[in-house]
């Protein structure tokens, strides 16, 4: 499989002097184009730091990260920002929205750097809202929707530029199990349409939808579980495999 992101011997250290934390201690990782990879591990094991490093949101102390063959550290600030904005999408536990804008405007805002494209963006945002089941909420205030609906809006916003990869840091962490399930169905569908996903989660049911699960501990990838593409009705068995591996690894 052709790689979209390759990390080689990534080390990330926080702090200086005597108070240093090695958040990543020499990680090698490759994410394939269109692949869905989940990352699991105990709190503080380096999951978020890995996601930040692979997306270029934060630099690395040593080692390299390449995106479609280009080293992120050599892109320069503007090209790196453009790459992140146009080719990557980001979803967090709770999307940050501007309170004085309605849901539709919040979805469009980050993509609307070019005013001339506004009509096209409006159509794209409305199509995405339709696809994610929040078409009727365009004019709503962001404080007048449920957590699940807000996360759908966050996903729409992340998809506005049709990214090649979606980075998701515990996207279902703040949701009830029904909303979490719906968000995961949506992410699986987005992945089936060709977008790669790198997702951090604590939930075996969520990880079960990935092609592969990486397990982190003390800043290293200590284990990997290949699950393959999900087929019809095998989700429970995949979840069992993830739980067994979590127990084996001690997550």
Closer by beta carbon to ligand ADP, 45 or else 195: 45
Least separation in angstroms between residue 203's CB and ligand ADP is 14
The Cα–Cα gap between 227 and 222 comes to: 17
For 92, 142, 149, 183, 188, the CA distances from 96, given in Å and listed in that order, are 9, 10, 13, 17, 23
Closer by beta carbon to ligand ADP, 14 or else 240: 14
Maximum CA pair distance of the chain? 55
| Positive or negative torsion for Cα 169, 175, 176, 182 | negative
Least separation in angstroms between residue 65's CB and ligand ADP is 15
The Cα–Cα gap between 56 and 34 comes to: 19
Least separation in angstroms between residue 81's CB and ligand ADP is 20
Least separation in angstroms between residue 202's CB and ligand ADP is 9
User: Which chain residues interact with ligand ADP by CB under 6 A?
Assistant: 14-15, 21, 23, 41, 43-49
Closer by beta carbon to ligand ADP, 7 or else 46: 46
Closer by beta carbon to ligand ADP, 23 or else 155: 23
- From the list 222, 231, 246, 225, the residue with the least C-alpha distance to 28 is 222
Q: Kindly state the tokens that stand for 184.
A: 């995961």
Least separation in angstroms between residue 237's CB and ligand ADP is 27
- From the list 182, 190, 188, the residue with the least C-alpha distance to 164 is 190
Least separation in angstroms between residue 44's CB and ligand ADP is 4
Residue carrying structure tokens 């934390």: 21
Closer by beta carbon to ligand ADP, 134 or else 213: 213
């Amino acid at each position: 499989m052709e790689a979209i992101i390759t990390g080689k011997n990534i080390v990330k250290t926080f702090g200086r002097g005597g108070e240093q934390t090695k958040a990543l201690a020499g990680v090698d990782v490759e994410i394939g184009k269109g692949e869905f990879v989940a990352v699991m591990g105990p709190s503080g094991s380096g999951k978020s730091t890995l996601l930040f490093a692979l997306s270029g949101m934060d630099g690395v102390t040593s080692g390299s990260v390449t995106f479609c063959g280009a080293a992120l550290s050599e892109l320069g600030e503007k090209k790196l920002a453009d790459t992140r904005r146009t080719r990557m999408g980001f979803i967090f536990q709770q999307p940050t929205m501007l309170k004085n804008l309605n849901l539709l405007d919040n979805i469009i805002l980050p993509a609307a750097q070019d005013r001339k494209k506004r009509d096209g963006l409006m159509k794209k945002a409305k199509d995405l809202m339709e696809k994610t089941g929040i078409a009727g909420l365009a004019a709503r205030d962001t404080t007048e929707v449920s957590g699940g609906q807000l996360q759908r809006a966050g996903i729409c916003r992340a998809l506005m530029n049709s990214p090649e990869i979606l980075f998701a840091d515990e996207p279902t962490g703040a949701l009830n199990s029904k909303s979490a399930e719906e968000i995961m169905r949506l992410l699986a569908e987005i992945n089936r349409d060709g977008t790669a996903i790198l997702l951090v989660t604590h939930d075996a049911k969520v990880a079960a939808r990935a092609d592969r699960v990486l397990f982190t501990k003390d800043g290293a990838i200590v284990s990997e579980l290949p699950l393959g593409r999900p087929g019809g009705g095998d989700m429970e068995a995949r979840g069992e495999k993830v739980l067994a591996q979590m127990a084996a690894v001690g997550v």
